Structure 1
Amino acid sequence: MSATTPKEIAREAVRLLAARRLPPTPDNFQAAYHEVAGTRPLQPFPLAQLRQIAQALPERTPAQVRFKALFNKAVSRHTWDDLEKVLTQHLAAAPAPASTPTAAAAPATPPAASPVTDGPAASGFGPSDFAPSAFAPDAAHAPPIAPEIAEQTARIIDIAQPLVAADDRRLHDMGEELVRYLRLPEHHPPTLRRMLADYAYRLSFGVEEQTGVREALLGLLRQVFEHIDAISPDNPWLRQQMQALVQAAQPPLSQRRLEDLQARVKDVIVKQAEAREQTVRAQELMRQTLATFLERLAQTAASIGQYHAEFEACAQALERAESLADMAPVVQEAIQTARAFAADTQRVADELTDLRDRANRAEAEVERLRAELDQMAELVTHDLLTGVLNRKGLASAIDRETRRAERTGTRVCIALLDVDDFKRLNDTLGHLAGDAALKHLADVARRSLRPQDTIGRYGGEEFIIVLPDTTPEEACGVVQRLQRDLSAHLFLQGEQKVLITFSAGVTELQHDEPVDAAIARADAAMYRAKRAGKNRVMAG
């Protein structure tokens, strides 16, 4: 065989599966791997079958009862060595039949291993599978596992089962069987190694599938946000929020970050619902105004037609009049018609003026709502430029972590960061480059900070980091690591590489202390860091 290392053997096994057009299932891969390596695959311990055999063993004599008890003990321990010993001792102690005087002296060694495709081994296990050499050739020299290590391993598997084996019944059963075996008083090291290897092999597929599901769900979430962004070209506020949500849904994720993302989505939904309701009312008012206006125009047109007919009748009567006496009533009727026409015209003019005022008010309301939507970004919890929390979001995060620390008896620290020489950077490279530098710092911080840490933009070039379950010394270490990462990832402005540094003050939030007092203490420590030479972290 040209393949000698496990990596090369695995690569050849994959090629073999592809050449034979076999699906890469665990069983197919295992068979191909052993075929390439020239070894025999290990068979699973036939626990159910051996227990069935144990139940069928007779218990008519004390020797049979003792043998059955020893057999059951060996089966429960998954130990081929003990099974061999029990069978050998039992056969050696049993009287030989008269017709076969040499039967007791016959060797207890099982027949040689046969290929897995021959005989009973093809159905799961055969005579060769009961040989201790099939699983543990070095059983006599294997060191026993410490009880505390076995218990800790069992606890780890117990804790991980709901996460990694929720959708894999076989992995779940293997985990439970392994936990039960680990909690036995004694273990057979080769058997334990085999069970752990089988579980790890199956676990690798489960973890790979869970990772794929997680990435697919995140991709679907980002796709939804991007689709909403694409279909909202006339709503800049919503587009900005969707773009910020896309950034917030980028891995790595944590429970705190998901809670923050959920709160942000809820905030967007509530604000949009309020704005939509007010917009619908304004649009309904404008619709009613337009309908009334059209109705009044129709009435005015009808009135003008009626008055035109009356004036035409008066004109014809005047043409037929032969004296002043005949003309007087016609003139009187014309005057009354003119007065009625003037009154109707004034009434319509007043109504149209009122409608115009209502339309102006509705238009002003729509403009106000549009301006409110444009300004609503300031009311949500994230900064539109950098995608991190804004002051409102920081206040919520500090309040949430403070209450959590009170429940769990842990500590919370905050760090106030101020970019060094930011005014000079703006003056040299321009304000757009300054904005890009702030975004760069926020991006590096999201990658550098721990999953439980939260960063927000406090204002201008100042940022605050909330560090839960952290001592001031540990908090200083976290911020210093961010400084090193920022130095390792230079800010690119065109072809120019710019080193961005910051000075920081770190302090611990005290019980029942106003947040402003803690921020002021961190601010004082930050200014001490500035005076000490910048690009430093001071505790306060």
Structure 2
Amino acid sequence: MGSPASTPQEIAREAVRLLAARRLPPTPDNFQAAYHEVAGTRPLQPFPLAQLRQIGQALPERTPAQLRFKTLFNRAVTRHSWDDLEKLLVQHLGAASSPPPPSATPPATAQPPDSAEPAPHADEKAASIPISPDIAEPAARVIDLTLPLVAADDARLREMGEELVRYLRLEQHHAPTLRRMLADYAFRLSFGVDEQLGVREALLGLLRQVLEHIDAISPDNPWLRQQLQALVQAAQPPLSQRRLEDLQARLKDVIVKQAEAREQTVRAQELMRQTLATFLERLAQTAVSTGQYQAKFEACAQALERAQSLADMAPVVQDAIQTARAFATDTQRVVAELTELRDRADRAEAEVQRLRRELDQMAELVTHDLLTGVLNRKGLENAIDRETHRAERTGTRVCIALLDVDDFKRLNDTLGHLAGDAALKHLADVARRSLRPQDTVGRYGGEEFIIVLPDTTPDEAAAVVQRLQRDLSAHLFLHGEQPVLITFSAGVTELRPGEPVANAIARADQAMYRAKRAGKNRVMQA
């Protein structure tokens, strides 16, 4: 099998090969057993602390030997040490089976009966290692805080973590026990982390799939399609709690606005449908009435042809006159109704046009730039307002950085506007990867960007922006197969309590121009 594995990585690889050779599934338990087999160690079994403590309390302590055994037993239980328990039981059973000494006088090194705690052996002192509370307590706190994240669906991992936290908070620790507990927890934790990462990626993929296909519900709504495209961009990793809060607020706004617009559109469509139905009904009635009057007029004409005298013609003429008056009255009524229908149709059309204008105006409520996927001006205003209120509550500081791409006009003139747009998108993508999770980036206008840096001093903010400059130089923009170096100059300033945001942006803008004059690709503080 080659040279024996020595590092944890080599042991893990050998364990995977061993599972594959034995055709065993790589479950956490199988992998843990194979790892310990390759490493030549024993896996730590669950320690029955409560049961062993109950046994320790029940042990007799009438003689010095019983008192010493009980003390050492309880100490081994407190340390979760199977090795100490095994050694103690073997020694005790061996002493119990050996003949008593010939002399009744206890040796000089015997422990006096009234001693509170027997002196530990040399090997016990070597194995017992007090860990500084400055290390043990933070380590226990880290494990305790991360358990809800990584062990939500793994009861065994949660038990191991809770046991390890309790053990780290003891005053003294048994070195082999602590080593094995940490190793077993780390291996089980690796599976829990992989599982959580898989769940996260699956949920993000599901969200993107829903957002990408939901526009099929409203194929003739370009506003909704734009909003959904912006939401897809916002759901790209890396994610943070702030980005998720912003995504949730934007999605809620889209749903509410779309529901309102749809309800109003449905009402307008219903009005149009009713108008058209009434119009067709009136046309049908007019056709029927016209046929009836035509039949009456025809009857009057035939009666006039048969008339022999004025006396015979008089009632026919009177009937024709009444029929003509009724026809005129019905015609006027139909004209009035059709005029009303036309007015209703005009009002319905005006309502539809108003709704279209409202949807166009709602596009201005989008908080993300459709080209780069980062915040636009409105989104930046919301982000700065949110962070300043958070800073007031927590007593922290907020900085902003104004970035301007160097020689962007020359890039546009040389490579074209499409390449310029792609360069801005490249800068935004690098910024999302480079910035800290709590930072927010937005496009202020043209080739200018603003970064909001919460809980940050100006010196720290400048360091963050300088790191972004280095990352942008390391990841060149590709125009086709041609690499293009993109740089920017930046000004950094701190938001002062109660001042208008425009004043802080103006200070950052002045610092950015100082960086331009100093040679570009620099960061200046204001």
Which position in structure 1 is the counterpart of 2:341? 355
Which position in structure 2 is the counterpart of 1:107? none
Which position in structure 1 is the counterpart of 2:172? 186
Which position in structure 1 is the counterpart of 2:445? 459
In the aligned structure 1, how far is the partner of 2:219 from the partner of 2:33? 57
Label 1:163 to 1:495 Cα distance change in 2 as closer, same or farther (>3 A).
closer
Q: Is the 8 A contact 2:128 2:172 kept in 1?
A: no
Which position in structure 1 is the counterpart of 2:77? 75
Label 1:419 to 1:469 Cα distance change in 2 as closer, same or farther (>3 A).
same
Q: Is the 8 A contact 2:371 2:425 kept in 1?
A: yes
In the aligned structure 1, how far is the partner of 2:450 from the partner of 2:294? 78
Mapping of residues 1-16 of structure 1, within 5 Å: 1-5=1-5, 7=9, 9-16=11-18
- Does the residue aligned with 1:464 lie in a helix, a strand or coil? strand
| Equivalent residue in structure 2 for 1:200, among 171, 175, 186 | 186
| Equivalent residue in structure 2 for 1:366, among 336, 352, 355 | 352
Give the total of aligned pairs: 504
Residue identity matched to 2:19: L
Residue identity matched to 2:209: Q
Which position in structure 1 is the counterpart of 2:45? 44
Q: Is the 8 A contact 1:410 1:469 kept in 2?
A: yes
In the aligned structure 1, how far is the partner of 2:504 from the partner of 2:169? 50
Which position in structure 2 is the counterpart of 1:109? none
Q: Is the 8 A contact 2:233 2:373 kept in 1?
A: yes
Q: Aligned-pair distance for 1:55?
A: 5.1
Q: 2:395 aligned with 1:409, yes or no? A: yes
| Equivalent residue in structure 1 for 2:331, among 336, 340, 345 | 345
Label 1:318 to 1:84 Cα distance change in 2 as closer, same or farther (>3 A).
closer
Residue identity matched to 1:41: R
In the aligned structure 2, how far is the partner of 1:164 from the partner of 1:384? 35
Q: Is the 8 A contact 1:377 1:384 kept in 2?
A: no
Q: Is the 8 A contact 1:417 1:526 kept in 2?
A: yes
Which position in structure 2 is the counterpart of 1:475? 461
Which position in structure 1 is the counterpart of 2:20? 18
In the aligned structure 1, how far is the partner of 2:12 from the partner of 2:493? 53
| Equivalent residue in structure 2 for 1:222, among 200, 208, 229 | 208
In the aligned structure 2, how far is the partner of 1:516 from the partner of 1:439? 25
Provide TM-score, normalisation by structure 2.
0.87
In the aligned structure 2, how far is the partner of 1:312 from the partner of 1:321? 14
Label 1:203 to 1:36 Cα distance change in 2 as closer, same or farther (>3 A).
closer
Which position in structure 2 is the counterpart of 1:518? 504
Which position in structure 2 is the counterpart of 1:431? 417
Label 1:191 to 1:475 Cα distance change in 2 as closer, same or farther (>3 A).
same
Q: Aligned-pair distance for 1:363?
A: 2.2
Which position in structure 2 is the counterpart of 1:58? 60
- Does the residue aligned with 2:367 lie in a helix, a strand or coil? coil
Q: Aligned-pair distance for 1:378?
A: 1.6
Q: Is the 8 A contact 1:13 1:32 kept in 2?
A: yes
Which position in structure 2 is the counterpart of 1:31? 33
Mapping of residues 47-196 of structure 1, within 5 Å: 47-48=48-49, 50-51=52-53, 53-54=55-56, 57-61=59-63, 63-79=65-81, 82-83=84-85, 86=88, 96-97=98-99, 140=126, 144-196=130-182
In the aligned structure 2, how far is the partner of 1:462 from the partner of 1:45? 59
Which position in structure 1 is the counterpart of 2:276? 290
Give CA deviations for 1:241-295 in whole Å, capped at 9, x if unaligned: 2222112111111110110111110111111011111101111111121121122
Q: Is the 8 A contact 2:128 2:173 kept in 1?
A: no
Give CA deviations for 1:396-419 in whole Å, capped at 9, x if unaligned: 111110000000000011112222
Q: Aligned-pair distance for 1:233?
A: 3.4
Label 1:34 to 1:390 Cα distance change in 2 as closer, same or farther (>3 A).
closer
In the aligned structure 1, how far is the partner of 2:318 from the partner of 2:83? 133
Q: Aligned-pair distance for 1:453?
A: 0.8
Which position in structure 2 is the counterpart of 1:245? 231
Q: Is the 8 A contact 2:515 2:524 kept in 1?
A: yes
Provide TM-score, normalisation by structure 1.
0.85
Give CA deviations for 1:417-451 in whole Å, capped at 9, x if unaligned: 22233333333333333322222221121111111
Residue identity matched to 2:410: R
Give CA deviations for 1:327-358 in whole Å, capped at 9, x if unaligned: 23322332332233233223312321321232
Identity, in percent, stands at 83
- Does the residue aligned with 1:381 lie in a helix, a strand or coil? coil
Q: Is the 8 A contact 1:14 1:29 kept in 2?
A: yes
